[in-house]
Amino acid sequence: MTKVALRAGSTEEFRELRSPYGGEVIAEVEQADAALVDRVLARQTALFADRAQRLPHHERAAILRRAARLAESRLEDLALQVAREGGKPLTDARAEVARGVNGLELAAEEGIRIAGHEVPMRGTAAAAGRLAFTTREPRGLVAAVSAFNHPFNLVVHQVAPAVAAGCPVTIKPASATPLSCHALVDLLLEAGLPEDWAVVLPMPGRVAESLVTDPRIAFFSFIGSGEVGWGLRRKVADGVRCAMEHGGAAPLIVDEGADLEALVPKIVKGGYYHAGQVCVSVQRVFALRSVADELVERVRAEVAGLVTGDPTEAATQVGPLIEQGEADRVHEWVQEAVAAGARLVEGGQPMDNQCYAPTLLVDAPADTKVRTMEVFGPVMNISSVDTLDAAIAAANDVPFSFQASICTADVNRAMYAATRIDANAVMINDHTAFRVDWMPFGGRKVSGLGLGGIPHTLEEMTAEKLIVLPAP
């Protein structure tokens, strides 16, 4: 069993970390307290104030590139760690770490490219004889709170832009998955990042609140539940910029004439990837009646063939839920839907080791939890609708607004739906969980605030400064 100590200072308070599959203790992780948080922020404040200690852009980029090469050389070990601590199937964990490698490279390139612009001064006599332009500067200290479901790549999305921007960052990893966060920051330090520019502090929630509400923080990055995130945002100090990524209940519309043979494997992957523990997982499918029966049968056949079990086994496609309580909650929601009239066509039962059988429901009533809330489990519901407008109305009938999909053979109907679905991003003929790490990614309404994606996060972590000077 591994004992993971804090680099930033010792508290000698350790928390057992258990694997979600099997429950064995895989590590003891030292926990920060409020006094250590205060000492770290004091050191980072002094570090940021001393311009002589700031790294130039090209050195930050070189560190990020070296960290990417180190991560690439240890990809298999990092992926196995993701699978063991988070329960993500090994095949998907490998893909996550590979994305993290790309994210480090992307942050290096974007950190060099980010720039201001010339401000035209030709419009009035008062402006004449001046040259004006903007530059971009790091905002200051970053506090980042991360989530368990992508324990390596999500941390890359929060830490790598901070490094590229020149902002000291303190990150609280998810309590269930701190090892991948430690591993990433260790890679950055090995690659040459000086101590205190990136600090990992696992900590209980009450201590995390003292971090994110500290007035020395300039930027707060949060990935996790809306209840926690919005609650913390209400308590941050005046002037703190925030980026918040919460959950969703992603809708996918299947129109008449959609290519079901090509579409169904994508739907199933988008719905059951990481046991549905993805904020943009396919959850609510609205199918036109002419295709609904065939869609249900094709999806059912695919779901029945999914391999559920040990995430460290190469053949596993669906792993455990992160906690037993989550598996119990998912089962309660499925039972509620069935009792209310939903048809259970596949799954619907708990399994050993915190797993839940991949589940397909049909026509769950509109007021059930699987239709109105984020399941965050391996459950999908397919509902029949009469018209495309009815599908759009049903898709929009929740407080969430994140990613969505419209699947159709008609480009005009695709664009009609895409412009009317309430979402920050709409995929056409693909599942709702598609993402690459340079695209804008974020939710509207209760689903979030601001935009993720490495270039967008880097821009948010820097501030534009206007400089005006006389010019002949």
Structure tokens at 111: 């950190």
Which sign, positive or negative, has the C-alpha torsion 306, 310, 316, 320? positive
Active site residue 118: no
User: Is 243 within 8 Å of 460 (Cβ atoms)?
Assistant: yes
Q: Is 355 a catalytic residue?
A: no
Looking at 279, 302, 326, 346, which residue is catalytic?
279
- Inter-residue contact 191 to 63 (CB < 8 Å): yes
Residues ≥6 apart with Cβ < 8 Å to 108: 60, 61, 62, 64, 65, 68, 164
Rg (CA), the chain: 23
DSSP 331-399: HHHHHHHHHTT-EEEE--SB-STT-B--EEEES--TTSHHHHS---SSEEEEEEESSHHHHHHHHTSSS
C-alpha to C-alpha distance for 156 and 341, rounded to whole angstroms? 43
- Letter string b/e over residues 38-58, b meaning 16 or more CB atoms within 10 A of that residue's CB: eebbebbbebbeeeeebbebe
Q: How many whole angstroms separate alpha carbon 179 and alpha carbon 3?
A: 10
Q: What's the rounded Cα separation, in Å, for the pair 436 and 455?
A: 12
Strand order in the sheet with 14-18: 2-4, 25-30, 14-18
Q: Are 403 and 371 in contact (CB under 8 A)?
A: no
Residue found under tokens 């090995």: 190
Please state at what angle helix 153-165 crosses helix 90-113, rounded to 10 degrees: 10
Residue 404 has phi, psi (to 5 degrees) of -145, 170
With beta carbons less than 8 A apart as the criterion, state whether 88 and 319 touch: yes
**Residue 458 · residue 61 · CB < 8 Å:** no
Rounded Cα distance between 82 and 80, Å, is 5
Which residue in the list 96, 245, 374, 460 is annotated as catalytic?
245
Q: Which residues contact 284 (CB under 8 A, 6 or more apart)?
A: 249, 250, 251, 252, 370, 371, 381, 383, 394, 395, 398
- Active-site residues: which are they? 245, 279
